[in-house]
Amino acid sequence: MCVDGCFVASGRLRGLVGMREKLYDIAAVALFVTELGGIVRYADGRPLRFEDIADDRPIADAWLLFPAESGFVLDTAE
């Protein structure tokens, strides 16, 4: 997971989709990608907040990680 996330941050991959990981599986790479201008969100457009997933349960919803310049836009209108 970490290597794939680094490839997204560097532009070698256009994005990453995940589901059922725990916070410790994605925390470092999500921070890394976010600090480099990338975006980490749930597939429905909600921002992925670490406060919501801080317990020891797997992340139930699919999440996306992609660089800001990828051109991928999430429709967050309800």
Strand order, beta sheet including 39-42: 16-18, 63-66, 39-42
pLDDT tens figures, 32-53: 888 888 888 888 888 888 887 7
Query: The whole model's pTM is what?
Result: 0.74
Looking at residue 75, its pLDDT comes to 60
Domains contained in the chain, CATH given: 2-69 (3.40.190.80)
CA separation for the pair 11, 50 (Å, rounded): 24
Q: What is the pLDDT of residues 2-35, one digit of tens each?
A: 788 888 888 888 888 888 888 888 888 888 888 8
pLDDT band of residue 73 (cuts 50, 70, 90) is: low
- The tokens describing 45, both together, are 């457009």
Rg (CA), the chain: 12
Residue 76 has pLDDT above 60, yes or no: no
